[in-house]
Amino acid sequence: MVWDPALEIAFHPTVVAMVGVSADAKRSEHRPSGGATFIAGFEQLGFQGRIYPVNTKATEILGYKAYPSVSAIPEPVDLVVISVPAQAVPAVLEDCITANAKNIHMYTAGFEETGEEEAKELGLKVRQIALRGGLRIIGPNCVGLLAPKSHLTTLARLPLEPGPIAFFSQGGGQAEDCVDFGSPRGLGFSKVVSYGNALDVDESEFLEYLAQDPETEIISAYIEGVRDGRRFFSALKGATSQKPVVIYKGGTTEAGQRAARSHTASLTSSVAVFNAVCHQLNAIQVNGLEELIDVLVTLRFATPLPRGTGVAIVGAGGSPAVLASDAMESAGLQLPNLSPEVQTKLKQCLPVEGGGFTNPVDATNLVSPEAIYAALCVVGKVSDIHTLIYHLGFHPLSHWGNGRLSSTTYLQAAIDAFTQAQQAADKPVMLVLRPPPDLVGMKEFLATQKAFVKARFPVFHSLYNAAKAIARVVAWGQA
Amino acid sequence: MVWDPALEIAFHPTVVAMVGVSADAKRSEHRPSGGATFIAGFEQLGFQGRIYPVNTKATEILGYKAYPSVSAIPEPVDLVVISVPAQAVPAVLEDCITANAKNIHMYTAGFEETGEEEAKELGLKVRQIALRGGLRIIGPNCVGLLAPKSHLTTLARLPLEPGPIAFFSQGGGQAEDCVDFGSPRGLGFSKVVSYGNALDVDESEFLEYLAQDPETEIISAYIEGVRDGRRFFSALKGATSQKPVVIYKGGTTEAGQRAARSHTASLTSSVAVFNAVCHQLNAIQVNGLEELIDVLVTLRFATPLPRGTGVAIVGAGGSPAVLASDAMESAGLQLPNLSPEVQTKLKQCLPVEGGGFTNPVDATNLVSPEAIYAALCVVGKVSDIHTLIYHLGFHPLSHWGNGRLSSTTYLQAAIDAFTQAQQAADKPVMLVLRPPPDLVGMKEFLATQKAFVKARFPVFHSLYNAAKAIARVVAWGQA
């Protein structure tokens, strides 16, 4: 079995019906709710197609012509977004069949995940209607779709640049988080899907679709349960043979599995089997959403991808050097020793009192862009070093670089130094920039991160995070 | 051997000599450097005693009467802060002996940690002078001391409330971080020490001193190497028998140990032995500074301390519930099942569509303070639940509580609900509040955290962090 071409239409719709918008929905509300939220999202992203609210009591909602049913809409409907109460869903689906509207995003919750008999039966009924009518349902119990290139979103988010990352997620919260926390790190998305209970379209079909999707270069996922083990194996095999696939598995403990049943009605299969399959097929498994984002950032921006486990760290402070070393080595990376010749060269370009010239290179954060460039070039020439990490200062309240990074000229000069060193070494330069605890520092942090991200550097928020992500990507590349 | 009473004077000095302030130091500089930094720090904290810069070329520096030597100062000196170059240190120490000034904080670096023969010999010479003259040296190669109650600081920091936490650290960066990241979480400090190479006063003596220090209720430390294993064992035994002791050990890997040698000249002993000693003496070991702060926050604010491993989580979202469950169980905590009776009671107080009534209780973040109170009281009565965690929403861009937490009235009502539920249950209520990725969200986050911290709640930045800290504290309490 392969992915249904209907999915392609679901992600690139021209005509969208919104079932479940109140007749008196107002744009002036601080936060619109229900179906009006989805309309607001589409408007924010500048959707180019046509939107039809469906409501039996209104002829116009929020300035859009409303119809009493999907089948009453006078043109073919590409996507139906359903947010009516669960009891009302079967009738809406029958109407979709009448209208020949195949693609459904079902926001409505209250099915199998409640654990209640009646709700389970309702879910079964929904599935039977869908099968009979050839409907393709994303959901139920999910936030839905985001496709920046199509200006499509049921995940109300700010205007976003499209990009080559796909993320499909059983959890709506994870889908939103991936966008909210990934975007400032430079991640642009081809498609983001929250697919909830996976009553119809499931993780295997998303894998199959995204594996061949020309807009997607890197696939990532948050999965609670696998619906069809055999199909999943084959879909994952197909996907990993073409693109990197990064997977975060929820429900890895007994309590987590119980919660997954009550969240998306997922019957999580054996974690050991899942892990073994990922290992065998070289999917990159991660243990949290932050780690998922870190790995995506590495895959997307490391130039070139690291070719081995050797890391050199250049940056501020002696204590960070100890922690950095522990972080790197416990993640499975190495910090090769520097030969006396290399140390001598470093001494020449880093005239820093009290600095050390072993690896990590404890340069204080007072050094000039020229010195940064020279030092990175020296360690970049060492053959068993494959990745160069520059660690920006550790003292938020004194502002890293003693305030010099806040100056646009210094920041641009530092970026140029990193860029040139990366090219000269033909090894990736990655940056560690730590979020400070105060608002003034945070403002500076975000501006600095933005500048580095714009220059297409992987930026991590701690040495531990960098270490884990690099180790995952190196292991993936060497498998 | 017990701690030297001189330490008590070092932390509560009346007369301080600053050796290494340039004759032309100016207050107008954006960031004063060298000795002037220390003077600026003392001024910021409102030091009540007398400061004497020592300089052969000036009679007044920054408005303070300067003297050519410590021995020329016309009154007994309680603390001498030395920041001259390493070569000049022996002469300064001889002068201190002449002046009968016993307590030294030596900022100066460039001794054993450089790995160079000449520098090592200089260190040895310093140690011999100190022994002969009965000097007590904190350092060298360290940032120094912070004692808010004495308005004393060589760690230039904003005015700080004193508190019952002591932190002694071989790394200056860690000492600064502990203050910078711990203060917004409500941690107040009795004493913070960065002690660098531990050439004279070492970790054992700090433990001995702090164990009996009436200003200190909780002891914490960042240690790279142990100078005297036997004394350390006995000091730690004495300390843990009286107060909780939290230890973060740096240099747990081979590369980390190499870095520690070059940072503070520490010869890290066997990690396995260190761990075994901590375990035997019931010191709480942590794996990072954030975890250290999390444990300190738990010890300081959990009311009462958790009496067992059972946790109930109430809060927003289904996906967080899965992650929370995985987090808790992998940290060694339990999320007990809720009986049908308890679930029915929860349903009555949380009329939330699509919410689940298992543990974690997937209440959306729309609930009122009354509902929060009622729900926490219901789960608080379950006998195998020992800690109540309230998880504040997961969607930074929509602002937690759908904007309601930003309203002062709602926030205060929520705080009252948490406070009353904690009292009613006689079990600790802890809060998880996640830092958002944007500046607007961060402003709200910091204000909300501040309000919760002011109300003396433990606030964690992720469910994982909460889980790890609670597990550590429960294990400590049960040992």
A318: closest CA of chain B, how far (Å): 5
Q: Identify the closest residue of chain B to A183 by CA–CA distance.
A: B437
DSSP per-residue codes, B116-156: -HHHHHHHHHHHHHHHHHT-EEE-SSS-EEEEGGGTEESS-
Q: Which residue has the higher pLDDT, A358 or B54?
A: B54
Hey, CA dihedral for B211, B216, B218, B223, is it positive or negative? Answer: negative
Six-digit token string for B359: 């543990």
- For the ranges A342-351, B23-32, B197-206, the lowest mean pLDDT is seen at B23-32
Is the Cβ–Cβ distance between A241 and B312 less than 8 Å? no
Residues 6+ apart with CB under 8 A from A121: none
* Collapsed DSSP state (helix, strand, coil) of residue A311: strand
- For the ranges A219-228, A285-294, A392-401, the lowest mean pLDDT is seen at A392-401
- pLDDT category of residue B317 using cuts at 50, 70 and 90: low
Residues 6+ apart with CB under 8 A from B84: B19, B20, B92, B108
- pLDDT category of residue A460 using cuts at 50, 70 and 90: very high
CA distances from B393 to B193, B312, B367, B434 (A): 37, 16, 11, 8
DSSP per-residue codes, A320-384: HHHHHHHHHHHTT-B-PPPPHHHHHHHHHH---TT---SSSEE--TT--HHHHHHHHHHHHT-TT
Record: contact A319-B30, CB cut-off 8 A? no
Q: Which pLDDT tens digit goes with each residue over A397-452?
A: 344 444 555 666 778 888 999 999 999 999 999 999 988 888 888 888 898 899 99
The per-residue pLDDT for A354 is 53
Record: contact A322-B181, CB cut-off 8 A? no
Rounded distance between C-alpha atoms, residue B225 and residue B351, angstroms = 56
Rounded distance between C-alpha atoms, residue B70 and residue B16, angstroms = 10
Chain B residues whose CB is inside 8 A of the A186 CB are none
Six-digit token string for B433: 């509040």
Is the Cβ–Cβ distance between A21 and A35 less than 8 Å? yes
State phi, psi for A67 to the nearest 5 degrees.
Answer: -125, 155
Strand partners, A211: none
Is the Cβ–Cβ distance between A176 and A158 less than 8 Å? no
Helix (H) or strand (E) holding A166: strand A162-169
Chain B residues whose CB is inside 8 A of the A195 CB are none
Q: CA triplet A29, A30, A33: central angle to 5 degrees?
A: 70
- For the ranges A259-268, A447-456, B389-398, the lowest mean pLDDT is seen at B389-398
Chain B residues whose CB is inside 8 A of the A176 CB are 394-395, 397
Q: Identify the closest residue of chain B to A156 by CA–CA distance.
A: B398
Chain B residues whose CB is inside 8 A of the A259 CB are 318, 321-322, 324-325, 358, 360
Rounded distance between C-alpha atoms, residue B260 and residue A306, angstroms = 27
Chain A residues whose CB is inside 8 A of the B322 CB are 171, 224, 250-251, 256, 259-260, 263
Share of chain B above pLDDT 70, in %: 91
B76: closest CA of chain A, how far (Å): 32
CA atoms within 13 A on the CB side of A224: 35
How many residues are there in chain A? 479
Strand partners, A166: A191, A219
- pLDDT category of residue A29 using cuts at 50, 70 and 90: low
pLDDT at B459 over 90: yes
- For the ranges A215-219, A385-389, B112-116, B350-354, the lowest mean pLDDT is seen at B350-354
- pLDDT category of residue A210 using cuts at 50, 70 and 90: very high
Helix (H) or strand (E) holding B323: helix B318-330
Mean pLDDT, range B158-168, rounded to an integer: 88
CA atoms within 13 A on the CB side of A71: 10
Supply the pTM of this predicted model.
Answer: 0.94
Q: Could you say which DSSP state residue A310 is in?
A: B
Record: contact A325-B443, CB cut-off 8 A? no
Q: Name which of A471, A474, A432, A467 is nearest A328 in CA terms.
A: A467
Record: contact B256-A353, CB cut-off 8 A? no
Q: Which pLDDT tens digit goes with each residue over A65-76?
A: 999 999 999 999
Q: Identify the closest residue of chain B to A185 by CA–CA distance.
A: B437
The per-residue pLDDT for B385 is 98
Question: Torsion angle, CA of B222/B224/B226/B232, rounded to 10 degrees?
Answer: 20
Is the Cβ–Cβ distance between B407 and B374 less than 8 Å? no
Record: contact B324-A259, CB cut-off 8 A? yes
The per-residue pLDDT for A33 is 65
A75: closest CA of chain B, how far (Å): 34
Chain A residues whose CB is inside 8 A of the B398 CB are 31, 156
Helix (H) or strand (E) holding A80: strand A79-82
Q: CA triplet B213, B219, B221: central angle to 5 degrees?
A: 125
**From the candidates A178, A319, A385, A439, which should be mutated to test the interface with B, based on the most B CB atoms within 10 A?**
A319
- The distance of Cα A290 from the centroid of its chain, to the nearest Å, equals 9
- Mean pLDDT of all residues belonging to chain B: 89
Ranges of beta strands (E only) in B159-250 are: 162-169, 189-194, 218-223, 245-249
Q: Which residues of B270-291 are buried (b: 16+ CB within 10 A; e: fewer)?
A: eeeebeebbeebbbbbbebbbb
A259: closest CA of chain B, how far (Å): 5
Among the residues of A85-153, which ranges form H helices? 89-99, 117-133
For A272, counting Cβ atoms within 10 Å of its Cβ (0-12 exposed, 13-18 middle, 19+ buried), the class is exposed
DSSP per-residue codes, B48-79: -SEEEEE-TT-SEETTEEPBSSGGGSSS--SE
Q: Name which of B245, B134, B258, B115 is nearest B200 in CA terms.
A: B134
Q: Name which of B298, B296, B187, B185 is nearest B246 in CA terms.
A: B296
CA distances from B377 to A379, B316, B345, B370, B374 (A): 59, 17, 10, 11, 5
Is the Cβ–Cβ distance between A292 and A370 less than 8 Å? no
- For the ranges A223-237, A306-320, A402-416, B119-133, the lowest mean pLDDT is seen at A402-416
The per-residue pLDDT for A276 is 95
- The distance of Cα B80 from the centroid of its chain, to the nearest Å, equals 25
Record: contact B324-A362, CB cut-off 8 A? no
Q: Which residue has the higher pLDDT, B401 or B466?
A: B466
Hey, CA dihedral for B175, B181, B185, B188, is it positive or negative? Answer: positive
pLDDT at A16 over 90: yes
Cα end-to-end span (Å), chain B: 28
pLDDT at B31 over 80: no
For A133, counting Cβ atoms within 10 Å of its Cβ (0-12 exposed, 13-18 middle, 19+ buried), the class is middle
Rounded distance between C-alpha atoms, residue A230 and residue B405, angstroms = 46
How many residues are there in chain B? 479
Is the Cβ–Cβ distance between A19 and A81 less than 8 Å? yes
State phi, psi for A14 to the nearest 5 degrees.
Answer: -105, -35
Record: contact A173-B222, CB cut-off 8 A? no
B357: closest CA of chain A, how far (Å): 9
- pLDDT category of residue B395 using cuts at 50, 70 and 90: very low
The per-residue pLDDT for A395 is 47
B403: closest CA of chain A, how far (Å): 9
Does the N-terminal peptide bond of residue B13 adopt cis geometry, omega within 30 degrees of 0? no
